[in-house]
Amino acid sequence: MENLNLNISNYNLHTIFGAHIKIKKEIVGTQFTVFAPNAKKVSVVGNFNHWNFDKNPMTRISAQGIWSLFIPNILQGEIYKYKILTKENQLIIKSDPFAFFSQIRPHTSSIVYDIFNDFLWSDDKWIKKRELRNIYKSPISIYEIHLGSWKKNDTCFLNYREIAKFLIPYLLELNFTHVEFLPLTEHPLDDSWGYQGVSYFSITSRYGSPQDFKYLINELHLAEIGVILDWVPGHFCKDSHGLYHFDGKPLFEYTNNTLKENPLWGTANFNLKNNFVKNFLISNLIFLFETFHIDGVRVDAVSNLIYLEYEKEKTGLTNELGSDTNLDAINFLKEMNEAIFKRYSTPLIIAEEATSWPSVTKPTYMGGLGFNFKWNMGWMNDILKYMSLSPKDKVNSSNLLTFSLMYSFNENFILPLSHDEVVHEKKSLLDKMYGTYIEKFDSLRMFYGFMFAHPGKKLIFMGGEIGQFVEWRFYEELEWKLLKFPQHDSIKTYLSHLNLFYKNESALWENDFSSEGFQWINHQAHKNKVITFIRKGEHKNNFLIIVCNFTTNQYVNHCIGIPRMTKYIEVFNSDKDIYGGNNCLNNEIILPLNKEIDNQPFSISINVAPLSTIFFKPIFLKEE
C-alpha cells in the first residue's frame, strides 16, 4: 500500500480504502485507510475510544497522503469517523468516503461492515443469461421507482426485504423487464430524492443493510427482472461530515470556485481532472456492479457534466480550446465507460443527456462518449406538450408528434416518462392529458400505446400505471386507494397487457435503433390527427401496423394503406372495455383491398375509436 500510486488508473480503491475487517497476528480487528493529503494528523474515533482524538492516531504511510491503522477487536457494527487536524490547525470530523454502511440520518457516522462476505448469491442463472443477451434487440421496459414513497408501512420506510415481498409480484403482474431505483447512495436529506449523495459506497440505510439490499436484487434476478441504479458522478452534497473540503481543503471538488460550486443544486462538482477522484468514482461504479450484481446504471445530469456553464449564469467560462465543453468530464466519461465495458459484456450504461451532443451512445473508439443508451429527452418534452394541447392547438403542432422520427436512429434511445415530469407543478401524467375526466384516461391509454409503438426502449415512473391525478410527493406513498375506482384499475390492467404485448412482439424491439425497423404510412397528423406507421422485425413477414387516433372523433370504415396483400387481424386495442374504453374494435379478419392509399399499394378498412391506439398484424400462409 505504501507504493500505491494514486496518479494512475486504479479502479479497485474500495479494496484498499475504507474499513476492512482483517486478522493480524491471530487477532481480529479492522484496518482503516483514508486519503487525506492535506492533513497534519488523522485519528480514528468512535464510541470504542470515547471519540478521543489522541487514542487511535493513524500512520501516514505514503508521501501522497495515505493514512492507515489497524485497531484490534473492532468488529462489524462499530461506528466510527475520521478526526483530522488540518494544516491550518483546525480539527474537523468526517465520515469515511469509502464506508460500506452508514447511520441513518440525522446521524452521520460510518459503520464497520464486512460487505464482501455478507451474502450468498443464487442468481447465477440470471447472470449467465444476461451475458448472452443482445440488449439492443431485446424488449426493455423499465419501472422507475423511489423506494421511500412507493409504499410505506404506517408512514415508515419499508425494509429492502419487505419491499421485495411487495415489489416483485407487482412488477411481474405489470410485466416490466427492469426496475430502476432513484439514487440509493447514502444521502442526508430526503427532499433530495438521493441526488445529493454523501457516502458513495454506502447503500442508504433508510431501508436496511447492504445484505438486505443484496437480498432484494437477488430476488429480482430470480424473478428475471433486471436492476438499474440511478448514479450521480457529477456533484455531491456539501454537508460538513461528507466529502466537501475533506481534509480542510478541496480534495474531491475543484479548487477553482467557479468550477467547484454548483448553484443549481447547492452542491459541489467533482474535480474530474484529478486522477484520485476519477479512480474514486469508477471504483464506485465497479463496486456497485461487482458487490450488488446490478445490471446497469442511469448516469444523472450528463449535460451538466459535459458543459462548463450548463443551465448556469453565463460568465464566458471556456476551456483551453475556447469552447464551453468540460474536457475533464468528457475524458472521465470515456474512461468510465471503457472501464465498465472491459469488464462486463452487457451492462446498461444510460446517459441522461438533454442536448444534441453527438454520438453519446457510440463507442469511444468511434469518437463517442461510450454509453450504450440515452434518454430521449426531446421526445419526452415534445410529446407531453402535444398531449396537453387542445384539439384546435394540436392542428398546428403536429411537428411535436412526429419530429422525433427525424433523429430516432442517431442514438440508442430510451423513451422516458420520468419522475422529473410529475413534480414541481408540472402535473401528473394523467392530468397533463387534455380533455374531460374520461378523455384524460382515454388519452393516457392512447399515449402509452403510441409510446410502446415508437422506436426506443421504455421507462415509466411509478404512479403512472395507476393514473395518479396528484403530482408525485416524495414524503407520501402512492395513492393505492385509487385502484378501488374502475378507471384507475383499468389503466393498471392496460399497462400490464401492453407490456406483455410489447414483450411478445419482436417487431416492436428487434430494430429499435435502425431506420429499417420503422416506416411511416401516413404522418400528416395536421389533417385529421390520425397517424399510421409500421414497426418491422428482422424477418420480412414480421411487422405490425399501428394506428393512433389523437382526436375525439370515431372513424368507421376508415381506409389506411398497407404494404402487403394479405389478411390482417387486430391484435391490440386501447379502447377495450376492460381497459376503460367503449369496445370499438375490429373483431373480424380484415380482408385487403386492391386500392392504393397513403403511397401504399393496398389498403384495409377499419374502425377507429376516439383517442385510441390499435395494432394490426398480417396473417401469412406458412409458405409465404
Secondary structure, 3-state, 257-293: HHHHEECCCCEEEECCCCHHHHHHHHHHHHHHHHHHC
Give the integer Cα–Cα distance in Å for 255 and 240.
Answer: 17
CB 108 within 8 A of CB 95: yes
CB 139 within 8 A of CB 177: yes
Dihedral angle computed from the Cα positions of residues 351, 302, 217 and 151, in that order, rounded to the nearest 10 degrees:
-110
Of 300, 353, 382, 421, the active-site residue reads: 300
The verdict on whether 477 is a catalytic residue reads no
Of 96, 123, 144, 352, the active-site residue reads: 352
209 is written with which cell numbers? 443493510
User: If you search the block for the grid coordinates 388519452, which residue do you land on?
Assistant: 443
Return the number of other C-beta atoms located less than 10 Å from residue 509's C-beta: 24
The per-type count for the chain, helices as H runs and strands as E runs, is 15, 30
Instruction: Using alpha carbons, list the distances in angstroms from residue 599 to 243, 519, 523, 596.
Output: 62, 12, 12, 7
The verdict on whether 300 is a catalytic residue reads yes
- For 365: left if phi > 0, alpha if psi spans -120 to 50, otherwise beta; the answer is alpha
Q: Which of 581, 554, 556, 574 is nearest to 447 (CA)?
A: 574
Amino acid at 96: D
Nearby residues of 438 by Cβ (< 8 Å), 6 or more positions away:
487, 580
CB 464 within 8 A of CB 429: yes
- Active site residue ranges: 300, 352
